[in-house]
Amino acid sequence: MSVDLAQLVTSIAQRARAASLILATASTAQKNAALLKLAEVIPAAEPALMAANAKDLAAAKENRLTGAQIDRLTLNKKRLELLAESVRQVAALPDPVGEVLEETTRPNGLRIRKLRVPIGVIGIIYEARPNVTIDCAILCLKSGNASILRGGKEIYHTNTAFAELLARALTHAGLPADAVQLIPTTDRAALNTLLKLDTLVHCIIPRGGESLIRFVAENSTIPVIKHYQGVCFVYLDAAADAAIAEAVTLNAKTSRVSVCNAAEQLLVHQAVAKTLLPQVARALRAKNVELRCDAAAAAILEGEKIPHTSATEADYKAEFLDYIMAVRVVDSVDTAIATINRDGSAHSDAIITKDETVARRFFAGVDSATVFWNASTRFNDGFEFGFGAEIGISTDRLHARGPMGLRELCSYKYVIEGNGQVRV
Amino acid sequence: MSVDLAQLVTSIAQRARAASLILATASTAQKNAALLKLAEVIPAAEPALMAANAKDLAAAKENRLTGAQIDRLTLNKKRLELLAESVRQVAALPDPVGEVLEETTRPNGLRIRKLRVPIGVIGIIYEARPNVTIDCAILCLKSGNASILRGGKEIYHTNTAFAELLARALTHAGLPADAVQLIPTTDRAALNTLLKLDTLVHCIIPRGGESLIRFVAENSTIPVIKHYQGVCFVYLDAAADAAIAEAVTLNAKTSRVSVCNAAEQLLVHQAVAKTLLPQVARALRAKNVELRCDAAAAAILEGEKIPHTSATEADYKAEFLDYIMAVRVVDSVDTAIATINRDGSAHSDAIITKDETVARRFFAGVDSATVFWNASTRFNDGFEFGFGAEIGISTDRLHARGPMGLRELCSYKYVIEGNGQVRV
């Protein structure tokens, strides 16, 4: 790599670190002023944003991206308005910084308070969705963190135009423009440099496909918060309510198949498989869900003449992100729990049952970020939790697990008041 | 590396993972039964432990370790009794698992609870202190985590003897012996294998010198909680109380020079430097502290005929862990804050002042894990915080910052109760 590129990235990180110290003590009013200015300039800058976006779209067509991929890259008036609205919503959220998390006075008179503070400098590594640039920048800003954004090359010109607006909004509010910076190159070497700057950058959040996340996790010496896949289960217990079983399974599988909290795996207790599975399977088939079954489930569906296929071993651990569901019959809630812990991704798993004892056993035994009783896995989401916004759904167990909102973008510090205490 | 060694380590991690699922739902009584049995068997096993320790001590002498190093390795009756007492103390602490951290009911009727749960499997990588084996094992056990221990080769036989006692205590309580496992080799290749098992092990905590921690952080794909050095500051403000300034500086520097929360750096406001610095310096000199001064501090001490030396640039960022302190004169609290944020390690920093406004500015501006007002940096410690125990003092900003007790060895999960809710 050229020395210049390493110097450039290091300089960005140094300026981000300096800006983070100012941002950490900025008032809520000042941070909100920057956000509201941004919400104002995004629609106003429509011509410049569209011109930049047009360059990315032209390159995308030249590189023969698919229609769906090009659609994701595309800005239009409506999308800009939605983006501005999301910025206003984040401005309206409570400021997480400064909250007293705990307070105690020790026998020696020391008063210990644990305060929520920003993490510091957060690096966001993402792919080709332009809204991620704004989403991540505003969540980091509101939580008092400086951010370094490194988006995909497919959206480089659009991101550069957004970065200019962010700098303008920060400056307007009297905050350092360096509080949000874009890596001005998509050279992979720049990313490699960034991932080693562990004295300047405190956290890396990769947003995107598994190979991107894995690359970041394997190459970063900075702590990474990962957002891996969701291999989510719905377990229909012996004491399941049939109507809830059908409604929740259908919603968990088909309300949006491409997201991490969509269900991929169905387990049915053998005591009710003969009656309940056909009902649920018919509902899934009506939405064109392919059912990949184990022998027991296949025999039941065969008898009912419900179309299905045979599952492979790989299907039982698959994140299909499609109208496909693997189906197995299990002999007990304990087998269901063991199956989920073995084959799932500890993301979002649900039990349908009327039996509270069984539900409590499932809650305790399933080692996942979020466990549901009689509700859809699709509710594992920062907005649905009432966080007001989310930067993703963490699959890690340290720091943040499940939906990450503004509070999860914070660390804490202890401040201790004494009157001359010394340790004996 | 031999395939056998990689298989061995992988098998240990697989068994730890299986044990962690059982331990996560074990009752407090069961975990405490294992701990109390351990406290009973440690003194009872004195002959076996001393025989194992003798092997390590013989090797240590052969390898010409220093007297201090050999002392750290050495077990004796008193040390075993202290160790058993620390196990009883952890048994007496409240169980952090299962605590409801938050509870909310959403407008759609979903009841969301955030519960404290164990992290899962924790790997502890450490060096040559035999008590670390027991300390880490019992803290992980009480917090419901399975642990994989990898200690230094200097203490291998002693650790193996401790591991047998741990297995016996776990089995006695009906818990899986695999809940605490020792890597039965100090081959570096085994460590390298362990650090990549990110689907089985959820957290790595290295305890030891900076080079060990750096090696682990750079080679692990598992999240690491680091416990780096403490370059801790005491700042004597223009409004400092002279008696408190002297007492706190002396305590922070000299009560135990070899620990991470000992002060290494002294800053004095120029308005009081001429009067206060000689008083504090004389107290430090009476304890044989070498004072490495900037030009302004040197001029003042020179005038008072107080022995001192000239500081180098490296001294201003040094963790001496010795009877040495770097001394600088600063022109304001803001310069003190900027100096600490630039040259310190964000560990434990103190201001001495009677001026509350200045103290609040220092609290907000100093970006460290723990910030003190009129108290010694030496109080940054899990026992002093009332945690009852600590596994270390985290210098990271994610998950745990500052002292790590039982709660910081936990993650959380969401359990959500509904009555058939689906997402629209």
How many angstroms separate the CA of residue A226 from the nearest CA in chain B? 10
Which residues in chain A have Cβ-Cβ distances shorter than 8 Å to B372?
Answer: 416, 418
Residue of B nearest to A200 (CA): B342
Rounded percentage of chain B residues whose pLDDT exceeds 70: 99
How far, in whole angstroms, is CA A46 from its chain's centroid?
28
Q: Does B417 touch chain A (CB under 8 A)?
A: yes
Contact flag B221-A217 (C-beta cutoff 8 Å): yes
Residue of A nearest to B396 (CA): A202
Q: In the block, which residue shows the tokens 């025999």?
A: A299
CB under 8 Å to A188, separation ≥6 — which residues? none
Question: What digits encode the pLDDT tens for the residues B288-344?
Answer: 999 999 999 999 999 999 999 999 999 999 999 999 999 999 999 999 999 999 999
Separation CA A9–CA B146 (nearest Å)? 40
A residues 168-207 closer than 8 Å to B (CB): 198, 202-203
Which residues in chain B have Cβ-Cβ distances shorter than 8 Å to A423?
Answer: 251, 255, 376, 378-379, 384
* pLDDT score recorded for residue B131: 87
Rounded percentage of chain B residues whose pLDDT exceeds 90: 92
Q: Which of A283-297, A305-319, B127-141, B360-374 has the lowest mean pLDDT?
A: B127-141
Which residues in chain A have Cβ-Cβ distances shorter than 8 Å to B369?
Answer: 413-414
Q: Parallel, antiparallel, or unpaired: how do β-strands B309-310 and B290-293 relate?
A: parallel
Contact flag B372-A198 (C-beta cutoff 8 Å): no
Separation CA A100–CA A114 (nearest Å)? 6
Q: Does A251 touch chain B (CB under 8 A)?
A: yes
Q: Parallel, antiparallel, or unpaired: how do β-strands A309-310 and A402-404 relate?
A: unpaired
Does the predicted interface ipTM exceed a cut of 0.90?
yes
Which residues in chain A have Cβ-Cβ distances shorter than 8 Å to B397?
Answer: 119-120, 202-203, 223, 411
CB nearest to A373's CB, from B399, B413, B416: B416
Q: Does A23 touch chain B (CB under 8 A)?
A: no
Interval A150-166 mean pLDDT: 95
Which residues in chain A have Cβ-Cβ distances shorter than 8 Å to B218?
Answer: 221
Q: In the block, which residue shows the tokens 């080693």?
A: A196
Separation CA A111–CA A89 (nearest Å)? 36
Q: Which tokens belong to B272? A: 């009081």
* pLDDT score recorded for residue B186: 83
* pLDDT score recorded for residue A75: 95
Categorize the per-residue pLDDT at A2 as very low, low, confident or very high, splitting at 50, 70 and 90. Answer: low
Contact flag A398-B247 (C-beta cutoff 8 Å): no
Q: In the block, which residue shows the tokens 């307070």?
A: A103
Q: Which of A336-345, B96-105, B159-168, B382-391 has the lowest mean pLDDT?
A: B382-391
Q: Which of A17, A355, A363, A415 to mutate: most B Cβ within 10 Å?
A: A415
Thinking of the domain A3-228+403-417, which architecture would CATH place it in? 3-Layer(aba) Sandwich (3.40)
CB neighbourhood size of B220 (10 A):
25
- CATH classification of A232-379, choosing from 3.30.1370.10, 3.40.309.10, 3.40.190.10, 3.40.980.10? 3.40.309.10
Separation CA A96–CA B101 (nearest Å)? 17
Q: Does A71 touch chain B (CB under 8 A)?
A: no
Question: What digits encode the pLDDT tens for the residues A244-263?
Answer: 999 999 999 999 999 999 99
Q: Which tokens belong to B289? A: 């502290």
Which residues in chain A have Cβ-Cβ distances shorter than 8 Å to B379?
Answer: 110, 416, 418, 421, 423
Categorize the per-residue pLDDT at B15 as very low, low, confident or very high, splitting at 50, 70 and 90. Answer: very high
Is the pLDDT confidence value at B3 over 80? no
CB under 8 Å to A31, separation ≥6 — which residues? A23, A95, A141, A142, A144, A173, A175
Contact flag B106-A224 (C-beta cutoff 8 Å): no
How many angstroms separate the CA of residue A52 from the nearest CA in chain B? 35
Separation CA A242–CA A277 (nearest Å)? 9
First CA to last CA distance, chain A: 53
Where do the structural domains in chain B lie, given as residue ranges?
3-228+403-417, 232-379
How many angstroms separate the CA of residue A56 from the nearest CA in chain B? 33
CB under 8 Å to A11, separation ≥6 — which residues? none
* pLDDT score recorded for residue A68: 86
CB under 8 Å to B6, separation ≥6 — which residues? B189, B193
Separation CA A12–CA B233 (nearest Å)? 28
First CA to last CA distance, chain B: 53
Is the pLDDT confidence value at A123 over 60? yes
**Whether A204 contacts A217, CB under 8 Å:** no
* pLDDT score recorded for residue A3: 67
Residue type, B190: A
**Whether B345 contacts B334, CB under 8 Å:** no
Q: Which tokens belong to A272? A: 């009710």
Taken as a whole, chain B contains a residue count of 424
Question: What digits encode the pLDDT tens for the residues A378-389?
Answer: 999 999 999 988
Q: Which tokens belong to A108? A: 């020696």
Average pLDDT over all residues of chain A: 96
CB under 8 Å to B152, separation ≥6 — which residues? B126, B127, B128, B186, B208
Name the residue among A289, A295, A296, A294 with its Cα closest to residue A273.
A296
Q: Does A323 touch chain B (CB under 8 A)?
A: no
CB neighbourhood size of B357 (10 A):
10
Interval B9-34 mean pLDDT: 97
Q: Does B229 touch chain A (CB under 8 A)?
A: no
CB nearest to B371's CB, from A120, A373, A413: A413
